[in-house]
Chain A
Amino acid sequence: MATHRDMRFSLIALAAVFCILVANVLSVDRNNFRTCDQTSFCRRCRGVQPGASPYQLNLDSLQTTASSVSAEILNSVLNVKFVFHLYSLADNTFRMKINELSPLKPRHEVNFVLNGEPNYVRLEVLEKTSEKAVVKSGENKVEIFANPFRVDVYRGTELLISTNARGLMRFEHLRPKPAPKPETPEGEEQAAVAPTDDTESDPGAWEENYKSHHDSKPNGPSAVAMDFTFPGAEQAYGVPLHADFFALRNTKGIDPYRLFNLDVFEYELENGMSLYGAIPVLYAHGLKESAGVFWLNTAETWIDIAKPDGENVVSSIVNLVSGSGQEPQVDAHFMSESGIVDVFFFLGPKPLDVFRQYSALTGSAPLPPLFSLGYHQCRWNYNDEDDVRNVALGFDEHDIPMDVMWLDIEHTDGKKYFTWDPVKFAHPTDMINNLTAMGRKLVTIVDPHIKRDGGYFLHQDAEANGYYVKNKDGNDYEGWCWPGSVSYLDLFNPVVREYYASRYLLSNYVGSTLDLHIWNDMNEPSVFNGPEVTMLKDNIHYGGWEHRDVHNQYGFMQHMSTYEGMVKRSQGTLRPFILTRSFFAGSQRYSAMWTGDNLADWGHMRMSVPMCLTMAVSGYSFCGADVGGFFKYPDAELFARWYQLGAFLPFFRAHSIIESKRREPWLYNPDTTAVVRQAIRRRYNYLSLWYTLFYEHSRYSTPVILPLYALYPKDKDVYAIDNEFLVGDALLVHPVVTSQASEVQVVFPGENERWYETETFELFRGRSTVSVPVDMNKIPVYQRGGTIVSRLERVRRSTALMHNDPYTLVVALDDKGFAKGTLYIDDGETFKYKSNEYLYIQFEFSNKSLKAKFIDKKAHFPSKAWIERVVILGLNKKLSSDPIVKSKSVGEQSLKFSSDDSYNVVVVRKPGVSVTEEWTLSFSF
């Protein structure tokens, strides 16, 4: 919701102090954000020359445990020692850690991000020579080279990842601050005695200024950097969040991709500038293999990418190994300001495997409450209780389903979170109950900055108990944000987290009910008067860690606490819904995210697809963009197109800035209202598909939406496609992202794959590119042959009201006349599914019959839902008699059906079987 322009608005009213920020620009002011060159550690790391690595591994020091090896590494120039660990993990995964052997003070290692201790597996040393050690785990092999230090990771005989192959490793050991150099010739001699590196000559090594901000850097230089080479890879993906295309670009000659969570105003598209969240996972993919690395570091991080650039194949390091000079390859160079080297290698072999291998470490999202997959209506701000009531009523009057109303910061009493405006929102419980009467929910915003107001309980508690983040002098850090003067809870402190979590209890959050859910915004954290609109890096957190060490995890700590509180408030019975703007790897375990404060323009709408695809493959499926665009006002066409797209991204919420005109779906014109109604209804038609996909995500960690290359890894031409995407493995969505489009070029992937248009059922075949005509009414969506998708054709006012509604099964046959799919059903809101209260059904069409079977036989759920209709696509065989359904409840019955002349579309009328039973539908042809 919030950024500097709003900040500008609000602060000008508050104080002219910040008028420096007033610049009437229409997009991001790049001057407010550092470049690599303006960042001393990035400058140093990027300046490392390849091919001259001073790091040597001492093979004599090699030690082995059941699942790891360790050894010492020496920086032969600086004569500093490090310790190296290599661990073998289940599912084609390795972990490599490098830390100083005896640092001046402990270096930061990341907590909470991994979803428990990784699953280590056996590893054995195959051979050890003077040059290298070779270790093996299952089919995988790692070669550890001594001089220069290099680690080559193989799956089978295929070299997938080579570490420090280019020699860009840099590990800045902690050192005492050098005394000012005396201006004498002896100085040089001393330098010869104690070897130094280029930190000596870097004026930013021990203190750094940016704009009017000073970073005292008491620990001096502490960067870590490593390069990774992926032989054979054509493309690289990942490292969100950036407003850029799905396939990462070559960063030669431009800034590296930056990961440093920031509140960026009107962000620009197609570049690697930092945005609100950071997930340092990177995938590389080529014709033969998929692989990935996860760089576990919460400090500011930059990533350089080199990849095949058209004709220009980079000179391959594989030459050393395979002798082939023409192979493509991707090089990635990770650079972090502090911490240690802690990196995971994922060996695939397929894209879905590497995604799973990453998710195994950081966890996948728990099953969200059903309502959160419906449509969300947000605005900064709904003015008062009447406004909320009337907007909700407007949805009913226009017969548009809607599940959640949202309240932005203005609902509070003076931007004090967990409070309500005493006049405009004087009866919050009544307001919530009015929504829940239609099965709807309310979401309120809770930001991490705390108003420094002596009368505010949260501030009183935090100040009295020392709960705030401290500045370098040990005093409570004060900054500026929405409420004016604020401080920030130190959520790295377990006591603070427990206190914060308990704020969400119904007894503490007065006026809330179990139907109220939470939005954590501004948690980068956003500090209006801080460097780059965030917190000073030399601030101090719990345990004495500098903000520098943990910056990218601040938002994570907030929603982790929120999640804990929200689970507690229902005594662990109800699933919470939380939306966050800032995030780190692992955040998916607690919250949904969105792409922040976008703009109402076609470019931002189009970019929401690659942004959410990148999130999805980075373990974080619950992603969406503000439908309609946050800043500015979309015209009717853009508005309608955005709903059509938004309905097919996992998180579906409209939002708008306070200055923009109101834009509830009926405020344009009747045609637009009709298009938007249809788009939102389509979302609800596929609600059970979304819910099933989220369930399967929680269970198997498969991304809910997928890039084409994930299912078609051998088709080089789809590697960079991000203007269409897949929902599960079933739907292919091609949004319309240009104005006045009369046709779109749809790529139908897969040799001989069948794709059925979801409303006309027209058949398209892969692999082809077809110019498909479009009108305003909808965007092209296709169901893949071989899948069975459930639909809910009775769209109600909200998801809660659709609970007992019957399902239509759309059976899209492949060339072999086969199809299968799943359906997950439970109560939609509690954790009872964890104790087997659910239904997980597999449908399979083969050999002239459609069978429904329970995947988990011991799971049960007393649903009233039933099968209303079965649609068979692509049968193309004349039915010789009526289909026969067989189940416990209906016995054996013949059913009416209808079809077109060529039996392309066969509709079986009313099987009437319950979803709680297994059944068979038999055909004769």
Chain B
Amino acid sequence: MSMKAMAGCWRPAKFLENMMHLLVIQCLFLILVVQLYPASSAPEITRPRGVSISKASMYDPEKDFKCFDGSRTLPFSLVNDDYCDCPDASDEPGTSACPSGIFHCTNAGHFPLNIPSSRVNDGICDCCDGTDEYASSAGCENTCLEQGRSARAAALRRAELSKQGNELRLQLIRQGKQQKADKKIRLEQLQRDREEAARIKQEKESLKSTAEELEKAALEKYRQAAEEERAKQSSSAQEEQEAFEQFQRLDSDHDGFIRISDLQTRQTFDKDKNGEVSEEEALYFIEHDELDWSTFYAEAWPKMKPYLMMEKGLFTPPSTPPPSIDAPGENAEEFPADNGEEDEEEEEENPENSEATDVPDVEGEATEVTEEPPQYDENTQNLIEEARKARTEYDEADRSLRDVDREIRDIEDGLGKDFGEEEEFVTLQGQCFEFTDREYTYRMCPFDQVTQTPKNGGAGTRLGSWGRWTGNPKYSTMLFENGQGCWNGPQRTATVNLVCGLENQLTSASEPNRCEYLFEFSTPAVCTAESSDGNPHDEL
């Protein structure tokens, strides 16, 4: 008898089937399928092998079997006959015949499980009840009771942990909200303070400029004399020589031109201190694709010189950092400044260091020349003294304003960060946690940065600065990005997975991908009261 109705019943595994299969498998591995029907209320149906109770009604030995996708109807004797007739694998739930079938193990005493039917009779015990190996030599023992017991115990422990953790979490939420509220109050206070400070600064500024004008006029004659003297000494030839030497150093291929790439190898020009000199940064200095000597000397040299001097330690930046040097979110204070790069960063971030502002210096430019001041007459001396006082007072006022501004900025930054749905992560800010393995000590400061320091000393490495929440659910994973660049590789990143625990603790560190670090951090902040899963629904 010809069965032409079966046309096309078999074909090699197809791509789409596999796509679906992938989804199924992933779900299966992630989730232990919990039966909808508790054992007590299950109807008494004898199920074909590999069929779950929920699907049992689809397999009625009294009737012909219809493939779930409706594509075909078969005599019931072809169900589980070790030959794949349904394209959707539904006729072979208990054998390995269909390429993307699903086998259900009841696992009485433990969780039921769905496995790919390719694991049926392959010699490996995948189900704790051993039902997947009914015709192999694997000799599986039923370990469900044992496994179920320990699974239940583990679930209980987990539930207890969640419960305790959740209480702590609620505290954290309260504290977090409180801290945030406090900060808002403080912010309001600061905003008021700022007005006052700004007013004082303005006042002092005008006093200062008056005093300085008087001083300037008095000094004019001395200055002229001094400048003539200096002009004699500071030869522009010397300057040109220095510039030329630098030009040659930068022109690595000695072709008489400096290019972007020449600058990119010099950390000096890393204005934002992110570990690499971007094209943009290089262009800031050279403004062209390539520079010959004369353009270099005329245009680029004046911009470069301060950076080169800064590198040599000859120059401290002016009290107001140039607008282009700006590294938002960078805060090196937590980190031991034990490498040169970080040193520079600090200098930038702490303009207060530039205490040399009491030297009368018109341009605010660096000067290596320290000369004996000329002798002034008494009147001039007094005016100088007045001006100095006015400047000191102005500086104090200016500093006060900047202090206020900084605190405002800090608080606003803090308030602007995402501390979780219920502010449960607020209290983690400002704290740091360490983990030490065979070679390194890792330090994770939530909302700030992650670093790695060799145990045997040596320079530390920033693995990343606070980036964002990237988990699923969102608040289960922190990403720190834009860490120091790797040799011949990308910038480092650090991913921190958060798990429920009673204490805040960094519990593991690894580098699964080169320059991609992975941490586990346990914290009560992610402990939610689980729905009671201590009693798995058994199929009995």
A: which residues have CB within 8 A of B?
Answer: 9, 383, 387, 397-399, 423, 437-439, 658-662, 670-671, 673-675, 677-678, 681, 685, 758-759, 777-778, 791, 793-797, 800-802, 804-805, 868-869, 871, 879, 881-882, 896-901, 907, 909-910
- Taking a contact as CB atoms closer than 8 A, the residue among A423, A674, A759, A793 that contacts B438 in the complex is A423
Complex contacts, A801 vs chain B, CB 8 Å: 122-124
Interface contacts beyond A398-B26, A897-B2: sample of 17 additional A-B pairs, CB < 8 Å, sorted by A: A9-B487, A383-B511, A398-B22, A660-B514, A681-B18, A759-B11, A793-B99, A794-B96, A796-B122, A801-B123, A801-B124, A868-B83, A868-B97, A898-B5, A898-B10, A899-B4, A900-B8
In the docked arrangement, what's the CA distance between A377 and B119, Å? Answer: 21
User: Do B12 and A661 touch across chains, with their CB atoms under 8 A apart?
Assistant: no
In the docked arrangement, what's the CA distance between A431 and B80, Å? Answer: 37
| A659-B514, A795-B118 given; A898·B3 CB < 8 A | yes
What are 12 contact pairs spanning A and B, CB under 8 A?
A383-B511, A397-B29, A399-B118, A439-B124, A658-B514, A677-B22, A794-B97, A896-B6, A898-B7, A900-B7, A901-B4, A910-B81
- The smallest C-beta distance from A896 to any residue of chain B, in angstroms, reads 5
In the docked arrangement, what's the CA distance between A437 and B124, Å? Answer: 8
- The smallest C-beta distance from B266 to any residue of chain A, in angstroms, reads 16
- The smallest C-beta distance from A392 to any residue of chain B, in angstroms, reads 13
User: Do B116 and A399 touch across chains, with their CB atoms under 8 A apart?
Assistant: yes
B9 at the interface (CB under 8 A from A): yes
Chain A, residue nearest B1 (CB): A882
User: Do B514 and A777 touch across chains, with their CB atoms under 8 A apart?
Assistant: no
- The smallest C-beta distance from B378 to any residue of chain A, in angstroms, reads 64
- The smallest C-beta distance from B256 to any residue of chain A, in angstroms, reads 22
In the docked arrangement, what's the CA distance between A897 and B14, Å? Answer: 21
In the docked arrangement, what's the CA distance between A802 and B97, Å? Answer: 12
In the docked arrangement, what's the CA distance between A796 and B514, Å? Answer: 32
User: Do A659 and B99 touch across chains, with their CB atoms under 8 A apart?
Assistant: no
Complex contacts, A399 vs chain B, CB 8 Å: 21-22, 25, 116, 118
In the docked arrangement, what's the CA distance between A907 and B85, Å? Answer: 11
Complex contacts, A661 vs chain B, CB 8 Å: 513-514, 516
Complex contacts, B26 vs chain A, CB 8 Å: 397-398
- The smallest C-beta distance from B65 to any residue of chain A, in angstroms, reads 15
B507 at the interface (CB under 8 A from A): no
Chain A, residue nearest B437 (CB): A423
B contact face: mostly helix, strand, loop, or mixed: loop
User: Do B122 and A659 touch across chains, with their CB atoms under 8 A apart?
Assistant: no
> Nearest 10 pairs between A and B by C-beta?
A898-B6, A777-B15, A801-B122, A910-B83, A399-B25, A662-B513, A674-B19, A397-B29, A796-B122, A907-B10
User: Do B99 and A795 touch across chains, with their CB atoms under 8 A apart?
Assistant: yes
Complex contacts, A795 vs chain B, CB 8 Å: 13, 99, 118
B512 at the interface (CB under 8 A from A): yes
- The smallest C-beta distance from A637 to any residue of chain B, in angstroms, reads 15
Q: Which of B479-495 contact A (CB under 8 A)?
A: 486-489
Which of A423, A778, A879, A907 has the most CB atoms of chain B within a 10 A radius of its CB? A907
Chain A, residue nearest B489 (CB): A659
User: Do A662 and B9 touch across chains, with their CB atoms under 8 A apart?
Assistant: no
- The smallest C-beta distance from B481 to any residue of chain A, in angstroms, reads 15
- The smallest C-beta distance from B271 to any residue of chain A, in angstroms, reads 24
In the docked arrangement, what's the CA distance between A796 and B25, Å? Answer: 14
In the docked arrangement, what's the CA distance between A671 and B99, Å? Answer: 19
Complex contacts, B14 vs chain A, CB 8 Å: 759
Q: Which of B78-112 contact A (CB under 8 A)?
A: 81-83, 96-97, 99
Chain A, residue nearest B121 (CB): A804
Chain A, residue nearest B15 (CB): A777
- Taking a contact as CB atoms closer than 8 A, the residue among B3, B25, B119 that contacts A398 in the complex is B25
| A438-B124, A674-B22 given; A909·B15 CB < 8 A | no
User: Do A662 and B15 touch across chains, with their CB atoms under 8 A apart?
Assistant: no
In the docked arrangement, what's the CA distance between A437 and B125, Å? Answer: 10
User: Do A879 and B2 touch across chains, with their CB atoms under 8 A apart?
Assistant: yes
B57 at the interface (CB under 8 A from A): no
Complex contacts, B25 vs chain A, CB 8 Å: 397-399
> How many of chain B's residues touch chain A, expressed as a range?
35 or more
Complex contacts, B99 vs chain A, CB 8 Å: 793-795
B510 at the interface (CB under 8 A from A): yes
Complex contacts, B510 vs chain A, CB 8 Å: 383
User: Do A796 and B512 touch across chains, with their CB atoms under 8 A apart?
Assistant: no
Which of B118, B121, B487, B489 has the most CB atoms of chain A within a 10 A radius of its CB? B118
- Taking a contact as CB atoms closer than 8 A, the residue among B12, B19, B122, B511 that contacts A797 in the complex is B122
User: Do A758 and B18 touch across chains, with their CB atoms under 8 A apart?
Assistant: no
In the docked arrangement, what's the CA distance between A9 and B486, Å? Answer: 12
Complex contacts, B486 vs chain A, CB 8 Å: 659
Chain A, residue nearest B486 (CB): A659
User: Do B83 and A898 touch across chains, with their CB atoms under 8 A apart?
Assistant: no
- The smallest C-beta distance from B175 to any residue of chain A, in angstroms, reads 36
Which of B15, B119, B136, B487 has the most CB atoms of chain A within a 10 A radius of its CB? B15
Complex contacts, A898 vs chain B, CB 8 Å: 3-10
Contact with A along B276-305 (1 / 0, CB 8 A): 000000000000000000000000000000
User: Do B6 and A659 touch across chains, with their CB atoms under 8 A apart?
Assistant: no
Complex contacts, A660 vs chain B, CB 8 Å: 514
Complex contacts, A658 vs chain B, CB 8 Å: 514
| A794-B99, A879-B2 given; A899·B7 CB < 8 A | yes
- Taking a contact as CB atoms closer than 8 A, the residue among B13, B119, B124, B513 that contacts A681 in the complex is B13
- The smallest C-beta distance from A668 to any residue of chain B, in angstroms, reads 13
Complex contacts, B1 vs chain A, CB 8 Å: 882, 896
- The smallest C-beta distance from B227 to any residue of chain A, in angstroms, reads 49
Contact with A along B6-42 (1 / 0, CB 8 A): 1111111111001101110110010000000000000
Chain B, residue nearest A908 (CB): B10
Complex contacts, B12 vs chain A, CB 8 Å: 685, 758-759, 791, 793
In the docked arrangement, what's the CA distance between A882 and B82, Å? Answer: 20
Which of B21, B23, B119, B123 has the most CB atoms of chain A within a 10 A radius of its CB? B123
User: Do A778 and B2 touch across chains, with their CB atoms under 8 A apart?
Assistant: no
User: Do B3 and A869 touch across chains, with their CB atoms under 8 A apart?
Assistant: no
Complex contacts, A397 vs chain B, CB 8 Å: 25-26, 29
In the docked arrangement, what's the CA distance between A777 and B240, Å? Answer: 65
Complex contacts, A778 vs chain B, CB 8 Å: 15
- Taking a contact as CB atoms closer than 8 A, the residue among A671, A794, A800 that contacts B118 in the complex is A794
In the docked arrangement, what's the CA distance between A557 and B7, Å? Answer: 57
- The smallest C-beta distance from B493 to any residue of chain A, in angstroms, reads 11
Complex contacts, B119 vs chain A, CB 8 Å: 796-797
Chain B, residue nearest A810 (CB): B12
User: Do B123 and A869 touch across chains, with their CB atoms under 8 A apart?
Assistant: no
Complex contacts, A674 vs chain B, CB 8 Å: 15, 18-19, 22
Complex contacts, B13 vs chain A, CB 8 Å: 678, 681, 685, 793, 795
Q: Which of B58-92 contact A (CB under 8 A)?
A: 81-83
Complex contacts, A659 vs chain B, CB 8 Å: 486, 488-489, 514
- The smallest C-beta distance from B98 to any residue of chain A, in angstroms, reads 9
Chain B, residue nearest A907 (CB): B10
| A685-B12, A898-B4 given; A670·B22 CB < 8 A | yes
- The smallest C-beta distance from A389 to any residue of chain B, in angstroms, reads 13
Complex contacts, B5 vs chain A, CB 8 Å: 898
Complex contacts, B15 vs chain A, CB 8 Å: 674-675, 678, 777-778
Complex contacts, B118 vs chain A, CB 8 Å: 399, 794-797
- The smallest C-beta distance from B77 to any residue of chain A, in angstroms, reads 12
Complex contacts, A759 vs chain B, CB 8 Å: 11-12, 14
Complex contacts, B3 vs chain A, CB 8 Å: 896-898
In the docked arrangement, what's the CA distance between A778 and B516, Å? Answer: 32
Complex contacts, A869 vs chain B, CB 8 Å: 10, 83
Complex contacts, B96 vs chain A, CB 8 Å: 794, 796, 805
Chain A, residue nearest B9 (CB): A898
Complex contacts, B11 vs chain A, CB 8 Å: 759
User: Do B9 and A907 touch across chains, with their CB atoms under 8 A apart?
Assistant: yes
In the docked arrangement, what's the CA distance between A439 and B118, Å? Answer: 14
Complex contacts, B489 vs chain A, CB 8 Å: 659
Complex contacts, A910 vs chain B, CB 8 Å: 81-83
